[in-house]
Amino acid sequence: MPEYHAPLRDMRFVLHEVFAAGQLWARLPALAGTVDAETADAILEEAAKVTGELLAPLNRSGDEEGAHWDNGVVSTPAGFREAYATYIEGGWVGLAGNPAYGGLGMPKMLAVQFEEMLYSANTSFTLYSALTSGCCLALDAHASEELKQLYLPRLYSGEWAGTMCLTEAHAGSDLGLLRTRAEPQADGSYAISGSKIFITGGEQDLTANIVHLVLARLPDAPAGSKGISLFLVPKFLVGSDGALGARNSLSCGSLEHKMGIKASATCVMNFDGATGYLVGELHKGLAAMFTMMNYERLSIGIQGIGCAEASYQNAVAYARGRLQGRAPGGTQAPQKSADPLIVHPDVRRMLLTMKALTEGGRAFSTYVAQQLDLAKHAEDADERRRAEALVALLTPIAKAFFTDTGLESCIHGQQVFGGHGYIREWGQEQLVRDVRIAQIYEGTNGIQALDLLGRKVMANDGAALRLFAEEIRAFVDTPAAPRPFASELLSALERLESISTWLLEQAGKDPALVSAVAVEYLNLFGYVAYAYMWAHMAAVAQASRASNEAFYGAKLSTAQFYFSKLLPRIHSLDAVIRAGSAPLLELADDQF
């Protein structure tokens, strides 16, 4: 059975050396005194034990057993209930939650490292608490004080769980089509009726109650997305003292039979006049739900990084031990019948691709989390606004690029194993199946690309992109910027700016252009963003190399691989974008 060991040294490198998190937290009043570098390290150490010793051993068995449905009752696989009880004893669900309602108030920069460990160890298990964390964010931002006092402490403790109920059979990405209804009641509540599909953790046996956030329409609501409201609908009704009452009028109609994440209960949920409570303002539910959605998008992006890290660890261990053939430059292990796989250039190509993309993603997720911490806690209003603009710009990249490259890395890891990668016992095929959904849910990656190019770049004439570009240029101009990586980063940035300008000029002439090239644009942007991260890491590695040649030398060698072997992908992406929409539209519909 494959094992998982959290990459603590690398996480500390990113958190403390690359982004100086302790210094940032010390200047943010809400975090100063709550967390410092020593506290963060202690939390990461404990998180590594929880994920490696408690959750990872349940990953394969949970996949093989799956979640069970029996006449509306859902059971999680053997060991999940006991593991969840231990998990919530540690307060892990509320790690980054609002302390006013029982959360621990830890910064997002720390939380993303923990999330990566969770997804590496056991994606299916992780999804139960990930949805709860997102539910808490939406309630904290938009619910009434009464609802927050009643629900948030029990959600942060893990005693109750949360879900997000958006999708309907006929309404996926286009939520304006949803039909679930909310009828106002005399007591101020609403009767919610309708069916939702693909609801993660919609029913399970881990918690005493489940809090559903449901998008629905009032009878007189405007058509389209502007007529959607958000409602809190508990599985069990809750008294004013928090005690559980009668079961609400809702049920799990079935579980989906899926390609992966089989231990995660993906439910069809039926609401039959269920009692619900308005969250936020009437007809503005989509905006409220997006508070949760944006959190989940970063979290699901990190699923890509986590699965890739697990696949990389497995693949490296296998490549070191599996003997196959002789190295092209001459025998490396003459005392053995063959050389280990790791000496072969093509195997090294796959391993280095995985390493460069995963470590680049880890740095970028921490960077986005840094912006989230600044947007939430910075005292200076301009600093908050700048961070908010960067979060809006970079979130679709984090979700889509992390998961696209996560699948690529998991496939590479499977390939390193050869035929054994296709066999269940080695764990690689499960990682491929589990990570695949991350490109689809929480907004498909195609939707993320449209959001990036259409809403975050084109709509404001590239203002947020200019903020990001200015930051990169400022870094390149510093004496510490690593050579020659800094000049290569600058060249890549100029290509991103050039293609962005071209798109701004051409979009008015071609209404299909943005939709036709958005995915390639997002990927190009992603590779440039990773180049910025690798330049940052290389700068630290160059300055510190003498103190630890093995660790920092490896960083510099991996940076060299990224800049010479992966960043050049932007040239082909640039060419595809400039080809425009015509090649996609010339074929008539009936010619497909």
Q: Which amino acid does the sequence have at 315? A: A
pLDDT of residue 225: 82
Written as one letter, the residue type at 365 is S
Query: What letter would DSSP give residue 328?
Result: T
pLDDT in tens, the chain (592 residues): 689 999 999 999 999 999 999 999 999 999 998 999 999 999 999 999 999 999 999 999 999 999 999 999 999 999 999 999 999 999 999 999 999 999 999 999 999 999 999 999 999 999 999 999 999 999 999 999 999 999 999 999 999 999 999 999 987 777 778 899 999 999 999 999 999 999 999 999 999 999 999 999 999 999 888 899 999 999 999 999 999 999 999 999 999 999 999 999 999 999 999 999 999 999 999 888 777 677 678 999 999 999 999 999 999 999 999 999 998 988 998 999 999 999 999 999 999 999 999 999 999 999 999 999 999 999 999 999 999 999 999 999 999 999 999 999 999 999 999 999 999 999 999 999 999 999 999 999 999 999 999 999 999 999 999 999 999 999 999 999 998 999 999 999 999 999 999 999 999 999 999 999 999 999 999 999 999 999 999 999 999 999 999 999 999 999 999 999 999 999 999 999 999 999 999 999 999 9
In the prediction, which pLDDT does 171 show?
A: 79
Rounded Cα distance between 142 and 144, Å, is: 7
Q: What is the pLDDT of residue 47?
A: 98
Domain spanning 290-578: which CATH class is it, in words?
mainly alpha
**Catalytic one among 309, 442, 488, 520?**
442
Please state the φ and ψ torsions of residue 170, each to the nearest 5 degrees.
-105, -5
Alpha-carbon distance of 180 to 222, in angstroms, equals 14
Whole-angstrom distance, CA of residue 48 vs CA of residue 313: 15
* 459 closest CA partner among 391, 382, 392: 392
Which residue ranges make up each domain of the chain? 290-578
The C-alpha angle 105, 109, 114, rounded to 5 degrees, equals 85
Q: Residue 195: beta bridge partners?
A: 270
Question: pLDDT tens-digit profile of 535-573?
Answer: 999 999 999 999 999 999 999 999 999 999 999 999 999
Pairing of strands 244-247, 236-238: antiparallel
Q: Which two tokens stand for residue 60?
A: 């394969």
Per DSSP, helices labelled H in 143-274 are: 145-156
Say whether pTM exceeds 0.95: yes
What pLDDT does 129 receive?
95
Q: List phi, psi (to 5°) of 212.
A: -90, 130
Spatial distance between the Cα atoms of 441 and 438, rounded to a whole number of angstroms: 6
pLDDT of residue 218: 96
What does the alpha-carbon distance between residue 356 and residue 565 come to, in Å, rounded to a whole number? Answer: 10
Residue 471 designated active-site? no
CA 91 to each of CA 118, 129, 155, 158, 257: distance values in angstroms, whole numbers, following the listed order? 14, 11, 11, 8, 32
